[in-house]
Amino acid sequence: MNHQSLVDVFGEFINVKNIDRIKLMKLIEDMFRTLLRRKYGTDENFDIIVNAEKGDLEVWRRRLIVEDDQLTDANTQIGLTEAQTIEPDYQLGEEVMEPVDILKEFGRRNILTAKQTLASRIAELERDEVLRKYKEKEGEIITGEVYQIWRREILLLDDEGNELVMPKSEQIPTDLFRKGDTVRAVVKSVEMNSNQPLIVVSRTDPRFLAKLMEKEVPEIFDGLISIRRIAREPGERAKVAVESYDDRVDPVGACVGMRGSRIHGIVKELRNENIDVINYTNNTQLFITRALAPAKISSMEIDEANKRAIVYLKPDQISLAIGKGGVNIRLASKLTGYTLDVFRESEGGEAEYDIDLKEFADEIEPWIIDQLRSIGCDTARSVLALSRDEIARRADLEEETVDEVIRILQAEFESEGQDAGQPVPKPTDEAPQQDASAQTVDN
């Protein structure tokens, strides 16, 4: 069988990238041994030589030389007369090695069938190899090129042409990609879907932030600093609790870098996501205090059994603890694992439960809330502390509108039993605070 014919048989498999050469050679050899067994009943007297790099394949048959009248198996034996036509010096008992013309022996139809079988087997091994490769990369950052953009997801291709999927939910809200863009993301999950590897990558997973920090902060990579917990609202804000295993290393300062030099690259990659870096501690009260920074907590009551904490703050600290749209307290809650209830501490020392105005968005129109916030009223009690006329004048609202706002706010406190002056904790989805050991990086 000439070289070109061999290439016609399996040449298209030579450049398979996801299967190593040894596996490929074994696959091709097994395919031809199957053909030999079907035709001759055995493949024990055949040698198959495969060179997957060059596309060469040779099949040789060994036959024992016997007397012409003692020939019983034409596959394993050859008569002396026939042997000597091949090589005059052959003697009885020697072995004759002959090349097998594969196309002539098996026919093109059998070869094409075997070729299809080989293609199917290679595709299966390629899928397994991709699955194995990315299983090992779960939680690691990879780089892909945007190949296709759909409404619900983006298709990326890695350096080897493997498909990676980034759903809309795994994209930072402010991400904007075009075809051909290079994108960094973390491998979130790898599984088989409809007999094909489904590799999901994410830019919103906390591990993406953790790996970015590992790349930027040598102390984290070397193991001197550990990232203990991360809470994120992708594209908006994140809180990271870090701990140092060397007393000489300040974990917060090392992560932020001189004038934010280390963290700014991460902030840019995350679309200007502000990052608060705080010292981790096993002291729950101190950890909650640090997580709620920049607000300063007056006092705190912790219910360990139910994983709740009641936090008392001065009136001017309420909005800082809650944060814009409640983001600060939500992240603090996620970071510490405690449900946080915020109470206003009055001048007399009595704690009053308070509610951020954003919580009334379903009852009060957003533009009215914005008007109230523009005059410094971020919470319900800060509005109720003003007179009806002062609210109307300062916020430039109609008196009827002010009356409706006051009615809604008062009704909320009455429904929670606040009219009796007794603080009733109301669960929030948020979390803890920070102290001087925390640094916030804004871009």
Mean pLDDT of 245-263: 90
> How confident is the model at residue 81, as a pLDDT?
87
Handedness of CA 243, 248, 252, 256 (dihedral sign): negative
Say what the alpha-carbon torsion angle 386, 387, 390, 392 is, to the nearest 10 degrees. Answer: 100
State both tokens at 2.
Answer: 């000439």
* Per-residue pLDDT tens over the stretch 72-124: 888 888 888 888 888 888 888 888 888 877 767 777 777 777 777 777 877 78
pTM for the model: 0.65
Quick check: bond before 294 cis, omega within 30?
yes
DSSP labels for 323-347?
-GGGHHHHHHHHHHT-EEEEEEE-T
- Element (H or E) spanning 240, and its range? strand 237-244
Mean pLDDT of 27-41: 81
220 or 28, which is more confident: 220
Instruction: Report residue 12's pLDDT band, with 50, 70 and 90 as the boundaries.
Output: low
Give the span between the Cα atoms of 263 and 216, in whole angstroms.
Answer: 8
State both tokens at 12.
Answer: 């298209």
> In the predicted model, is pLDDT for residue 423 greater than 70?
no
CA-to-CA dists, residue 291 to 5, 235, 251, 268, 322, angstroms: 71, 19, 15, 23, 12
Residues in Cβ contact with 280 at an 8 Å cutoff, skipping those fewer than 6 apart: 228, 229, 241, 242, 243, 251, 287
Domain boundaries, the chain: 3-131, 137-204, 214-420
> How confident is the model at residue 139, as a pLDDT?
93
Residues in Cβ contact with 114 at an 8 Å cutoff, skipping those fewer than 6 apart: 31, 32, 34, 35
Mean pLDDT of 208-230: 94
DSSP labels for 286-318?
HHHHHHTTTS-EEEEEEETTTTEEEEEE-GGGH
CA-to-CA dists, residue 434 to 154, 229, 285, 354, 408, angstroms: 37, 14, 11, 20, 33
CA Rg, the chain, in Å?
36
137-204 has which fold?
A: OB fold (Dihydrolipoamide Acetyltransferase, E2P) (2.40.50)
Mean pLDDT of 372-399: 84
Strand partners, 230: 240
Mean pLDDT of 329-347: 86
> In the predicted model, is pLDDT for residue 429 greater than 60?
no
> In the predicted model, is pLDDT for residue 156 greater than 90?
yes
Mean pLDDT of 155-171: 93
The C-alpha angle with vertex 228 and arms to 222 and 230, in degrees rounded to 5, equals 115
> How confident is the model at residue 114, as a pLDDT?
73
> How confident is the model at residue 240, as a pLDDT?
96
| Nearest in space to 277 (alpha carbons), one of 248, 251, 249, 244 | 251
Exposed/middle/buried for residue 198 (C-beta within 10 Å: 0-12, 13-18, 19+)? middle
Please report, rounded to a whole number, the percentage of residues in the chain having pLDDT higher than 70: 85
Q: Strand, helix or coil at 418?
A: helix
Q: What is the 8-class DSSP label of residue 362? A: T
Note whether 252 and 259 are within 8 A (CB): no
Note whether 127 and 196 are within 8 A (CB): yes
433 or 271, which is more confident: 271
Question: Crossing angle of helices 21-40/108-136, nearest 10°?
Answer: 150
> How confident is the model at residue 416, as a pLDDT?
55
Q: Strand, helix or coil at 391?
A: helix
393 or 156, which is more confident: 156
Give the range among 18-22, 89-93, 218-222, 246-250 with minimum mean pLDDT.
18-22
Beta-strand pair 297-303/308-313: antiparallel
Give the span between the Cα atoms of 13 and 32, in whole angstroms.
Answer: 15
> How confident is the model at residue 227, as a pLDDT?
95
What is the CATH code of the structural domain delimited by 3-131?
A: 3.30.1480
Mean pLDDT of 43-56: 75
Instruction: Report residue 60's pLDDT band, with 50, 70 and 90 as the boundaries.
Output: confident
- Helices (H), ranges, 107-223: 108-136, 206-216, 218-221
> How confident is the model at residue 395, as a pLDDT?
85
Give the span between the Cα atoms of 410 and 385, in whole angstroms.
Answer: 11
> In the predicted model, is pLDDT for residue 37 greater than 90?
no
State both tokens at 321.
Answer: 């603890």
CA-to-CA dists, residue 99 to 21, 33, 107, angstroms: 24, 15, 16
Task: Evaluate whether the domain defined by 214-420 bears CATH number 1.20.120.1200.
Answer: no
Averaged pLDDT score across all residues of the chain: 82
